[in-house]
Amino acid sequence: MTTELTLTTDSREDGTVSLIASGEIDLSNVGAFGSALADATKNGTATVDLREVDYLDSGGINVLFTYADRIRIRANPLLRPVLDVSGLAELVDVE
Q: What residue ranges define each of the domains in the chain, with the CATH number in brackets?
A: 6-81 (3.30.750.24)
Arithmetic mean of pLDDT, 31-50? 96
Residue 1 in this model has a pLDDT that exceeds 80: no
Regarding pTM above 0.75, the answer is yes
Q: pLDDT category, 18, cuts 50, 70, 90? A: very high
Q: Which residues lie across from 53 on neighbouring strands?
A: 23
Identify the pLDDT of residue 31: 97
Arithmetic mean of pLDDT, 48-70? 97
Q: How far lies 37's CA from each of 1, 4, 21, 72, 82, in Å? A: 25, 17, 10, 11, 19
d(CA 19, CA 46): 7
